[in-house]
Structure 1
Amino acid sequence: MRRGALALVVACAATLVGTMPADAADRWTVSLTGAVTAAVARTGDGGLTFAATRGATTVLAPAPLGVRTKTADLTRDLRFLRRTDRIVDEHYAMTTGKQLRRHARAAETTLAFEGAGGTRLDVVVRAAADGVAYRYVLPGTGPVTITGEASSFTPPATAPAWLLPYSPNYENVRVETTASTAKAGDYGFPSLFDTGDGTYTLLTESDVDGRYSGARLTHIAGTTDYAIKLADASVTATGPFATPWRVAITGDLSTVTASTLVDDLAPPSKLADTSWIRPGKVAWSWLSEHDSPGDPVRQKQYADFAARNGWPYLLIDEGWDASWVPDVVRYARARGVEVILWFRWTTLDTAAERAKWLPLVKSWGAAGIKVDFMDSDTQARFRFYDDIAAATAQQRLMINFHGATIPRGLQRTWPHVMSFEAVRGAEQFKTRAATNTMFPFTRNVVGSMDYTPTAFVVSDRDTTDAHEVATFFVYESGWQHGADKPENYEARPEALRTLDQLPTVWDETRLLSGRPGQEAVFAKRSGERWFVGGIEAGPAKTVDAPLDFLGHGRWLADTLRDGPAGLLREKSAVSAGGRLSVPVAKNGGFVTVLCPAWPGRTTCDEEIRQVPATSLSVTPETAEATAGTTVEVKATFRLPAGAPLLDVELGPAAPAGWTVTGRPVFRPVLFAGQPVSGTWRFTAAAAAAPGTTDLPIAATYRFRGRSVHVEDATSVFVPPPVPVGTAQVSALPFLASSNGWGPVERDQSNGDTAEGDGRPLTIGGTVYAHGLGTNAPSSVTVWLGGACTAFSAVTGVDDEVTEEASVGFRVLGDDGRVLAETPVLRPGDGAHPLTADVTGVRRLTLQVTDGGDGKDSDHGDWADAQLTCAAP
């Protein structure tokens, strides 16, 4: 809650209901329906406790409340001032999740206290039908530093517990234990306890952002105390100040899994327009083929797979290169597939980096990004989440957080956040059936979960093929990344048929049966269709699921399950009030699609909407220009065959530093065989950046309710000034560069993944002031414009390498002609001088190869790389 919002809530509460005195026992209760009740009580030393009950069952025994700041101890000697009550009643819509339209209703009480020295502390408590929550408010103004919380939860001692040993990426194996016998240590949210009498309680938090740090639970062995532990030793903010909510979702397992309490407690959406946000299935190659994200040809094959099957996205993971990504994006978009690009978070952790990369990937036509390896719950890292969420929203780029923290309501506040990882996903372990059945009751309750499901490629897993398919359904993620390659899906056509029919967002979600570590069977609705599916951990059995949620009449049921010889598809007719019985193999699963049995209806499958094949030709393909000159571009768009296209518009987009004249051409209907053509003039500004720039022409149209973008471009080269005299290569602008690890570094070694993190260039004990630091495979192209005659450098493996490495150096002229090269060099070989005649060469490329044995530790230096050129 932001400062302004905080003031508004407090003011509204006071205006609506006034104040009431404390009761005689210094105990205050908050309840919406009477089923779930929160209780705050004052202890003999003036401290506070928090407890919760569901009916007659105590789910959380009294446990301490309070905070400590640098100037005040607000955990004791608190004097009660007043109580303020109100009802929170909100309707809101989500772009992702288990239920798109939400109704949040809760009773809220603010208990105002005063500590020693007159410092104020408000405890705000909410009670809803599905749980309770509290937060602290420090109403004073000015800076405040919190050094810790007294906050703690106390579940019943014998309560079975499903706990996650804490790590900042939340990827450890969840363990089954009890509240009192759990090992000492830190546990990550969310933590689930079976608190008795059919009631489960899930502990987590909500509304964490850069004003605070993330928290976890810390447990002392032999006790039932689970205390809040902040990621930072202290947190500094500006008052008035509200901490995150401490949340206890409680009820039967159906209530817990259906709960939206974490989102209900989060700030409302910051986006007025969410029309550009589109969840969906994603084709993704990294898990099944680690090197494939670096192969544009293979990525186009994944785009073709996505297009054939109606999957709206392709994720190009670690390894992509800016030299070919725009081409792959255009290829995919022409087939109705949008592209997501992977980033290491350190590439985007400053405002300057975000200002550089986000507009660029947007200009390429990317729909979103995946950001990886944040691996921290500190206040500083949550400030990064704030910054990157705002920056991507500004560019209308969706985002997925991988190597990340858990959701804490961010998907409500920033609806373009499609998913978080924060789970031990399909890539990480093979014995997974039991753990898989824990996730629906724990991690996935609090928000989208990027598990990357359905990985047939993991051949020695303990799950069946039907179990793998069912994870795609059981787990909720706005972007659902299919983890396998096209060939493995197409080798199982019945599995692929089911995957093609599965939505990734839902109108309703209901748990039908299950228990963590054993079984999870859900019913979910999307439009008129219901889907029922589940995953099992244990021996073969028959799942008998009630169908009382169906509407009247007969329904078709199309079930995919494991059979004696592989995946098996069965059809049946069912009705509301009946039951669905499905034989399930050991560690198996199933997915059933249900639809009204209209007369003549034989399938529940919806049509896969493939976009038609079109052509867009742009001439010229390439051009060269100088600042202030004009390039004329002609384009023709055609639909060779098929149903007509609607609202066709063909037009240009001026890149930065260019202007364009000529209006777009519009056709309300375009029939097969009819061309749409136009001519536009692009003019380079005097300050146009040197290098290669695309002058794009795009055709957009509507087809069967879908908007499709087809683009091609003239590639125009604006030469930079030619080098003169004796020129250091590290001082020249790069026309293109790529590197096997992090960026190519100027005048320092490769270092790590961040720009400028290298060391002095050192080969064989000699330090060089100038040159390039790379990690193979790498390539750097610079402009000579025919003005130079000689190149020289000292090459070798940088002395910072302490492990095995092997590199080779090549000097290439125009058209890839090899001008000079070294043998394979290794640590200890020392410096290897390299010279080349570059007379007449316009583009010079310096390559470092990996010696044929992989890129690990292959730090290759072009030390003292210089050119001999014409005199100025």
Structure 2
Amino acid sequence: MTLLSWPGRAFISFLLALAVVLPLAVVSAEPAAAAAHWTVTGPSSRSPVTAELTLEAGTLKLSAARQGRTVLAPAPLGLRTERADLSRDLRVLGQSQRIVAERYTMTTGKRHDRAVRARETRFRLAAGDARFELLVRVSDDGVAYRYLLPDEGGTVVTGEASAYRLAPDATAWLLPYNPQYENQRVETTAAGAASGEYGHPSLFRSGTDFALLTESDVDGSYSGSRLVHEAGSPDYTVKLADERVTTSRTPWRTAIIGDLATVTESTLVDDLATPSKIADTSWIRPGKSAWSWLSEHQSPRDFERQKVYVDFAARNGWPYVLVDEGWSEDWVPELTRYARARGVEVLLWFHWQTLDTPEKRAEILPKVKAWGVKGVKVDFMESDTQARYQWYDAILADTAALELMINFHGSTIPHGLARTWPHLMTMEAIHGQEQLPQPANNPVHPFTRNVVGSMDFTPVALEVGPRTSSVGHEVALPVLYESGWQHFADKPEAYDRHPNALRFLDQVPTTWDETRYLSGYPGDEAALARRAGDRWFVGAITAGPARTVTTPLAFLGAGEWLVETVRDVPGSVDVRRESRVVRSSDSLSYAVPANGGFAAMACRAEPGRTTCDQPIQQVPSTSLTISPADAGDREPGSSFEISAEFRLESDRVVRDVVLAPRVPSGWSLAGEPVRAAEFRPGQVLSGKWTVTAGAGTGKHEVPIAADFLDPSLDWPEVHVAEAVEVFVPPPVPSDGALVSDLPFVSAANGWGPVERNRSVNDQAAGDGNPLRIGGVTYEKGLGTHAPSEVTVYLGRGCQEFTALAGLDDETTEPGSAVFEVLGDGAPLAATPVLRGGDAALAVRADVRGVRMLTLRTTDGGDGKNHDHTDWAVPRLTCLR
């Protein structure tokens, strides 16, 4: 049977205007004994996509067609649960239909404003006494279905019968599955692919029709999945990451269907997702980021080098700098103040195990928020299990509550999460620049992985990596590859050596109002146009031999347009910048080298207009002086005075200036903020306050900040701060004290946290093993990983330090390290290079007169891998 005919266009327009979801009809069940067919059409009489369900001999199958051509042949549906097999002996008890008409906006993605139009049919099904429901939704760009289970407490699902059947000779671009989705794609055929597991999204082509298979609205209520295939078969079956999942609903099994333009431009994955859980998104700011880890791995440990990246970002109007693995909380607050005064915000990297529990998140996330950090990059999740998805749900909620943006690296693919949680700026799940890839897969990503959501490829490697793609190719990538945060891969000096490339990067946005497919084919070429405001950007790349690439300009409106192109020219290190006036009937056509490409920017041609560039926004120059810079040692309950003077050194007028300190929790402050409604160049704002130290030993900071608005900026809030340093001393150690029992003044580690009385092992706190060096086990000590530093307070009350130093026996390969002892920054003792398997070496240092003792390990000159360094029995001889 066929469902009732679709309403007229006027009714559809009415529904879209109201953005409502209306039930339309309820149809009685077919007789159970007869084979039955149900056709679900798209949202209008002209919709190209249809889905058909067939129930025969108790088995339910789904197929999909485009313009009457079968794209997905009939393939099984159903679930297996702990109580019943819901894939066999099925009966349809009834069905109902509704129109889905919604509008929503995104903070990231290929299009800000979205309109959903779909027809959804709900089938009520039974297998014996067991009941469940199947939702089938058809839109102009695809078909999706999900299962609903009636048990409110959750049904235990042990697997799905869900599958897809392609034409055996359909071309396939498949991703051999691993849980971080970082393998390279392979081009094959649906039946000819090797037996194995393949990750979402998977792209197939049959004739003129494409199908991109993936899933949407996956969260902690279910498990992630992949596709299982046997060589010679055209079938791809859904396999869950867990053997058992307790749930009341499944994700949407999603097939984006259409020509290559339809698939590339589709927003179906987001359309199917749960609506936003964040009402106010005004604090969410996508943007470009300077990032040092790929071009110089050790630089995230270097405060001064990170300042160079901040200065570069500020000069070029990039709003972020990402400080990756290796940063230290000893200097991140200062770096954050330095950056924010220059209009740059800091993002910080975390291993997910550092934030894997509510307690860790409650401790760490508010702390980095207080430092002024605007977002976090969380890495190495590498799992599609329900437990890991529940962790995704939890950290997304926690960061949203603190107004911290987030990037998932080493992650699963996007499943519509950026609609549900708009502060999710991007996800990795790609064989990206960190893998130092050859460019062969680059023209595949716009048609596969990047279709389903923001992709943290970290593009534009001009001097780092294999350098087998041209500069024009690299500069086109931030147009082709959409990502709410675009972390550029190379160092400042590399970009400065390519000024035309840099000039284009300074202009290219990271979010878009519109995206258009122009030309290309997976693995060969890709060309897209994206619009931001009144400017269009074009990116085109190739893989393989030199050729001429032509892209139409039909996406431009009527009239004349100024187009500025950056492209490769023989004999030039940098790209060449050219401009000309065009119309929408014209095209861009350029000869490109092997693995080449070009990028372009277009704006309305107006009299006197010579460039589409917009001014680079920079914050006004200011100065903030504080006194004292260091308040020295202060006992709890003691008071001291601080003061500040703020000056505006630019020629701009700013508004709503507030100058005020912020004291640590448990401390008190006397004195009011100083304010100025309007602040002009040359004016001085000054204030004095009295601070009373609270409990809690160790280093503390009392930041004094001037916050103001600059109406000339798109993002007008500016924060300028300096901090008064205060130290609340702990008691001087007693004679015989072990360093592993003392409070740390500071601690930094090359991998994971410093461990007390255990080896460092992996990233999670407390996951270490008993300390063991050269076959001898030690009960007390510090487990570190080079390079590391641990500082404790001696208060000039101790005489000698002794320890046994060596690499822990858990070191899987012969690491190497040097152990150093420092007193107030001066070297006191050091070992030669020690290696894995060596016996522990005695270390002794005279610490008379030392206020701060630092235990340091370095990597021995061959990198930090496997350098698990132990300080066994680190004992102090003291005066009391």
TM exceeds 0.5? yes
Q: Does 1:500 align with 2:506?
A: yes
Given that 1:14 and 1:84 are in contact with CA atoms closer than 8 Å, whether structure 2 keeps it comes out as no
Q: Does 1:449 align with 2:455?
A: yes
Select the residue among 47, 56, 81 that pairs with 2:93.
Answer: 81
**Matched ranges for 1:64-75 at <5 A:** 64-75=76-87
1:476-519 Cα shifts (integer Å, max 9, x gaps): 00001111111111111110111111001000000011111111
Select the residue among 58, 72, 76 that pairs with 2:70.
Answer: 58
Q: 1:610 to 1:156 in 2, by over 3 A?
A: same
Q: 1:746 to 1:104 in 2, by over 3 A?
A: same
Q: 1:166 to 1:831 in 2, by over 3 A?
A: closer
1:356-400 Cα shifts (integer Å, max 9, x gaps): 111111111111011111111111111111111111111111111
What does residue 139 of structure 2 align with?
A: 128
**TM-score, L = length of structure 1:** 0.95
User: How far did 1:288 drift?
Assistant: 1.0
Q: Does 1:189 align with 2:200?
A: yes
Q: Does 1:778 align with 2:785?
A: no
What does residue 212 of structure 1 align with?
A: 222
1:112-148 Cα shifts (integer Å, max 9, x gaps): 01112x2111000000011010000011233321000
Structure 1 unaligned blocks of 5 or more: 1-11
What does residue 277 of structure 1 align with?
A: 284
Q: Does 1:726 align with 2:745?
A: no
What does residue 345 of structure 2 align with?
A: 338
What does residue 362 of structure 1 align with?
A: 369
Q: Does 1:168 align with 2:179?
A: yes
SS at match of 1:727: coil
**TM-score, L = length of structure 2:** 0.94
Q: Does 1:509 align with 2:522?
A: no
What does residue 618 of structure 2 align with?
A: 610
Q: Does 1:850 align with 2:859?
A: yes
SS at match of 1:403: coil
User: How far did 1:616 drift?
Assistant: 1.0
**Matched ranges for 1:61-460 at <5 A:** 61-116=73-128, 118-196=129-207, 198-237=208-247, 241-432=248-439, 434-458=440-464, 460=466
What does residue 721 of structure 2 align with?
A: 711
Select the residue among 596, 600, 606 that pairs with 1:598.
Answer: 606
1:607-638 Cα shifts (integer Å, max 9, x gaps): 01122221111111112222222232211111
Q: 1:568 to 1:274 in 2, by over 3 A?
A: same
Deviates more, 1:785-794 or 1:614-623: 785-794
Q: 1:678 to 1:19 in 2, by over 3 A?
A: farther
What does residue 581 of structure 1 align with?
A: 589
Given that 1:776 and 1:855 are in contact with CA atoms closer than 8 Å, whether structure 2 keeps it comes out as yes
Kindly provide the amino acid, as one letter, of the partner of residue 549 in structure 1: F
Given that 2:21 and 2:101 are in contact with CA atoms closer than 8 Å, whether structure 1 keeps it comes out as no
Distance 2:550 2:105 in 1: 33
User: How far did 1:460 drift?
Assistant: 3.8
User: How far did 1:827 drift?
Assistant: 4.1
Q: Does 1:661 align with 2:670?
A: yes
Q: Does 1:832 align with 2:845?
A: no
SS at match of 2:422: coil
Distance 2:833 2:435 in 1: 35
1:831-872 Cα shifts (integer Å, max 9, x gaps): 33333333343222222233333333333322111223344x
User: How far did 1:746 drift?
Assistant: 0.8
SS at match of 2:269: helix
Given that 1:22 and 1:83 are in contact with CA atoms closer than 8 Å, whether structure 2 keeps it comes out as no
User: How far did 1:467 drift?
Assistant: 0.4
How many residue pairs get aligned? The number is 850
Q: 1:20 to 1:768 in 2, by over 3 A?
A: same
Kindly provide the amino acid, as one letter, of the partner of residue 717 in structure 1: F
Q: 1:680 to 1:591 in 2, by over 3 A?
A: same
Distance 2:188 2:838 in 1: 56
Kindly provide the amino acid, as one letter, of the partner of residue 668 in structure 1: A
User: How far did 1:173 drift?
Assistant: 1.1
Distance 2:838 2:127 in 1: 70
Distance 1:800 1:545 in 2: 57
What does residue 4 of structure 2 align with?
A: none
Distance 1:409 1:825 in 2: 50
SS at match of 2:550: strand
What does residue 762 of structure 1 align with?
A: 772
Given that 2:35 and 2:56 are in contact with CA atoms closer than 8 Å, whether structure 1 keeps it comes out as no
Q: Percent identical across equivalent pairs?
A: 58
Kindly provide the amino acid, as one letter, of the partner of residue 631 in structure 1: F
Q: 1:156 to 1:677 in 2, by over 3 A?
A: same
SS at match of 1:594: strand
Structure 2 unaligned blocks of 5 or more: 1-19
Deviates more, 1:381-390 or 1:701-710: 701-710
Distance 2:836 2:147 in 1: 58
Over aligned residue pairs, what C-alpha RMSD do you find?
A: 1.8
User: How far did 1:828 drift?
Assistant: 5.0
Given that 1:22 and 1:28 are in contact with CA atoms closer than 8 Å, whether structure 2 keeps it comes out as no
Q: 1:284 to 1:869 in 2, by over 3 A?
A: same
Q: Does 1:799 align with 2:809?
A: yes
Q: 1:743 to 1:459 in 2, by over 3 A?
A: closer
SS at match of 2:153: strand
Q: Does 1:557 align with 2:568?
A: no
What does residue 4 of structure 1 align with?
A: none
Q: Does 1:521 align with 2:527?
A: yes
User: How far did 1:459 drift?
Assistant: 5.8
Select the residue among 655, 660, 663 that pairs with 1:646.
Answer: 655
1:270-292 Cα shifts (integer Å, max 9, x gaps): 00011110001111111111111
Kindly provide the amino acid, as one letter, of the partner of residue 113 in structure 1: L
Distance 1:749 1:637 in 2: 48
Distance 1:275 1:599 in 2: 36
What does residue 698 of structure 2 align with?
A: 691
Distance 1:753 1:113 in 2: 47
Kindly provide the amino acid, as one letter, of the partner of residue 440 in structure 1: P
SS at match of 2:296: coil
Given that 1:771 and 1:864 are in contact with CA atoms closer than 8 Å, whether structure 2 keeps it comes out as yes
What does residue 5 of structure 1 align with?
A: none
Distance 1:312 1:762 in 2: 46
Select the residue among 856, 867, 872 that pairs with 2:876.
Answer: 867
User: How far did 1:817 drift?
Assistant: 2.9
Q: 1:537 to 1:850 in 2, by over 3 A?
A: closer
Given that 1:696 and 1:712 are in contact with CA atoms closer than 8 Å, whether structure 2 keeps it comes out as yes
Select the residue among 44, 48, 51 that pairs with 1:38.
Answer: 51
User: How far did 1:645 drift?
Assistant: 2.1
Kindly provide the amino acid, as one letter, of the partner of residue 102 in structure 1: R
Distance 1:586 1:817 in 2: 55
User: How far did 1:16 drift?
Assistant: 5.2
User: How far did 1:97 drift?
Assistant: 0.3
